[in-house]
Amino acid sequence: MNSNEFHEWSKELNLSEEAIEQIKIIRLSDPSRLVGGGARNVPGEFTSKKMGVTIQFESSKVELAAIYMMEFDDNVLEFYDQPPSIKLNKVGWKTPDFFVIEKDRAYWIEWKTEDELIKLSQKKNAKYYLDEESNWRYLPGEEYCKSLGIEFKVGSSKDINWTLQRNLIYLKDYLGSEKPNEEVISSVKNNIMASPGITLKKLIDSSGEDFTLDDINILIAQDILYVDLFTSLLVEPSSVKIYCTKEQNRSFINLWESSREKKEVSVVKITNGSKILWGEIQWKILNHDIKNLFLVSDSGDYNEVPIETFERYVSEGYITGLNSDDDIDDEKVKELITTAAEADLKIANRKYSIVKKILQGDEIGPIKETDRTIRNWIKAYRDAEDLYGNGYLGLLPNDKNKGNRNRKIPTKSIELMEEVINESYESIKIKTAKVVHGEYQTLCENNKVPPASYQTFCEAIRKRSIFELTKSREGDRAAYKYEEFYWSLEYTTPKHGDRAFEIAHIDHTLLDIELDIGNGKSKKPWCTFLTDAFSRRILAFYLTFDSPCISSNMMIIRECVRKYNRLPQTLVVDGGRDFHSIYFESLLAMYEVEKKTRPAAKARFGSVVERLFGIANKLLIHNLLGNTQVMKNVRQVTKQVNPKNHAVWNLELLTERLENWIDEVYDIREHPAHFMTPKDAFNHSIASTGKRFTRLIPYNEEFIILTLPSPKPRHRKVHPGKGIKLNYYYYSNDKFRNREIENSMVEVRYDPFNIGVAYAYVNKRWEKCYSEYYSIVNGKTEKQIKLITEELRHKRKEFEKNSSITAKMIAEFILESEEIENRLLLEKQGKSIDAVQLTLIEGTGKNDDMLNKRPDKTDVNFFDDDMDLVFLGRDN
């Protein structure tokens, strides 16, 4: 709202001056704090089109869901995350999660899970409570708001419709998209009018070339077509019914309801013995499996129904449940059955066979039990029939509940034992159980009570949670591997999304291989992966010698756009500083990418990409010469097997090898997550959920500038006649000839993929600057420039720290490489390369001129072809 609109809104609501001033402060204020995730919370940032800024969320399951609802709700005009704190009686300063302005009201709101609210309501002097209408309320907040005319609300995870959430996430890409032309809209509506309530799948199948799935999704997102987003999942097109308008849908529902005869019905239970009403006939479920239901009618007719058909008839109201007068106490029966061991069931089966024969008047033959025992069995059988409706339950033995099961140790001894374990054993001193038991014996002697034995003491320790014990003795990280998985008892949203490019993970790893960097030296490279969570496809990778930094993140984003012209809707990262830089966050906000931060030291939250690291090492890196598996037992490593002495791969070779492995091995290998190859899963998802052309990002200079990192410091001096010096090179631009620009400090950015260019912010725009040897560098492909740049930057960093590197070195390197390539071409024409190949692998080529050159000046390339290593020049 602008100032006039806000004035009219506040006037219409008749708000007090105090309330208006407070809302003005909220609207003008930045978030009062930066959110941080807890042990299991995944915080992040959501790019809001409605607000035009990024909105923070502290929990991806509750607060993010609330953001989606507010973003799509037309009744919500504005919403602000982490508004200025308010001072509440008996509580002090509190920062609510959001302040929301709707058309007819304004309110603060605090979002929590239902379990958390229940725990808070059970505390002494609880501030949260459940009212008569089952709404959660917060007493201090409501007291503060009384005089303002503003509300304070509490939102619970129970209030969130997760089907709606998944649909909103699915449709987010289509918000603000250009509406299809009238011819397309008319064609879609004609197909729906011919069959109102047509499923999305049938509508797509009937489209031909008149319209696409993307056209339908845009019309749904813009309310031109109606789908009940609260109950139908758009990712399941065979069950989604589409109407031209909401009124059309309502009329069909009314027609169907008015034609139904009112009967006494109950919930349909797919259990053996349950009764249903199908039309006018009552049926009983005899048996069922995962595919079919077997029914019998009151008249004795039998029927077999596929379970999918049965569920559809239930959802459409053709089949309903019937209340049964002979329902038994399900909870008691469940307790008796679930607590019965196999031996108990065996005894009950024998009793049942004897009792059944007696009740039917048959001969039972010789048995060892007395007549009195048999009479007791019959009585127990009949009592269970009256009580539970099933006599068999009365024959289950109850021996497990006999005897005195109370502990024989005095209560005081038990209390002292628990006290000693808590204070002495569960401590960072990591005392042994024997030592702590000695302390326990001394304590018992002082209190004049008998101590428990050492065996009993150890048993008490074993009964404790291994996670809690390890956490108290060795810390959180050591205990993490014992931490239980926290399963969601209620289905919310799929953790890996509903489609490709919805969620992607990005992370770095140090590869287990030594690479040749020249002068007989070697170094391990860092690899950054960007992988799609739904299909498990590797969207991009980036190899570098530099430790994880903002440059790596920018380059992996750039690679993804270069390959696919799009970015994921949600990006999951860890808590590294490089993922939280202003440049990285600005880039994501620019392209409306939602960022989620997984909890620290919780590898399972990033299992998709963490598992990929292991696969890449196992299937590729560990099969290459120079891999570092042997270094796990470093004391046993000798010079002969040291990976540093077998480093034959360089950065360029490994980049090409890794790229080939991703395309030719990993991408076409069936993944256990969905029993499809990542490539097939990715392509199928794109085809079935829309191509989403509105998400396409052109790989142009504007995008490239946004992905460029800045050096430290960000500003550089413009030297007259030379330009700016960046990464040991001078870059010039015609704008630098202006005397006002000379000797001034300008903000600069560099391109890690192309050392021949840089950018400087001059006269309020980014100007492209060229190296003095740009003409030579410019003759190479982007891939070649990227790899040459990376190797030279690293060599300069490692070996020439005390001398200056010049752009002339770049040119010399390229020219020398071309000479090597020409010589290799001549050698290939004149003699066999078998000896050269064998010499390179075994390291015995003392008389080979080319192999006697410095390793960093020999530009070789390997690729795996039928398990043979072949030696080629760079451009081949």
Q: From CA 173, how far away is CA 240, in angstroms rounded?
A: 19
Q: Is beta strand 570-573 parallel, antiparallel or unpaired with respect to 503-510? A: parallel
The pLDDT of 438-465, averaged and rounded, is 89
What tokens does 875 get?
A: 């451009």
pLDDT above 80: residue 329: no
Position 338 scores a pLDDT of 63
> What's the average model confidence in pLDDT over 241-253?
78
Average pLDDT, the chain: 79
pLDDT for the residue numbered 776: 67
Query: What are the residues whose beta carbons fall under 8 Å from the beta carbon of 377, sequence distance 6 or more?
Result: 351, 354, 355, 395
Give the pLDDT score at 843.
42
pLDDT at 812 over 60: yes
Question: Per-domain residue ranges for the chain?
Answer: 3-160, 167-258, 275-321, 342-401, 411-482, 503-691, 710-805, 811-869
As a whole number of angstroms, the distance between CA 524 and CA 622 comes to: 13
User: Is residue 407 pLDDT above 80, yes or no?
Assistant: no
Mean pLDDT of 146-164: 87
Tell which residue, 1, 49, 72, 34, has the closest CA to residue 590.
Answer: 49
Q: What is the mean pLDDT of residues 139-156?
A: 88
Paired with 321 in beta bridges are 266, 276
Architecture of domain 3-160: 3-Layer(aba) Sandwich (3.40)
Residue 726, C-beta contacts closer than 8 angstroms, at least 6 positions apart:
711, 716, 748, 750, 758
**328 pLDDT more than 60:** no
What's the mean pLDDT in 155-173? 89
Q: Does residue 638 surpass a pLDDT of 50?
A: yes
pLDDT recorded at residue 847 = 38
Contacts of 730 (CB under 8 A, 6+ apart): 719, 722, 723, 724, 771, 772, 807
Per CATH, the homologous superfamily of domain 503-691 is Ribonuclease H-like superfamily/Ribonuclease H (3.30.420.10)
pLDDT at 261 over 70: no
Task: Give yes or no for a contact between 268 and 276, defined as CB atoms under 8 angstroms apart.
Answer: yes
CATH number for 411-482 (one of 1.10.10, 1.10.540, 1.20.50, 1.10.110): it is 1.10.10
Residue with tokens 């053709």: 318
Q: Using pLDDT thresholds of 50, 70 and 90, give the confidence band for residue 528.
A: very high
> For the ranges 78-87, 406-415, 435-444, 484-493, which has the lowest average pLDDT?
484-493
Share of the chain above pLDDT 70, in %: 79
In this prediction, residues 728-742 reach a mean pLDDT of 86
pLDDT digit string, tens, across residues 766-809:
998 988 767 766 666 666 666 666 666 665 555 444 444 455 65
* Reported confidence tier of residue 483, pLDDT bands at 50, 70, 90: low
pLDDT confidence of residue 605? 55
Same fold for the domain at 3-160 and the one at 411-482?
A: no
448/600: higher pLDDT: 448
Residue 683 scores a pLDDT above 90: yes
pLDDT value of position 760: 92
Pick the CATH number of 167-258 from 1.10.1760, 1.10.3470, 1.10.10, 1.10.3210: 1.10.10
pLDDT at residue 610, rounded to an integer:
79
Residue 845 has pLDDT above 50, yes or no: no
Q: What is the mean pLDDT of residues 712-738?
A: 86
Better-predicted residue by pLDDT, 289 or 621: 621
Nearest to 619 by CA among 658, 674, 672: 658
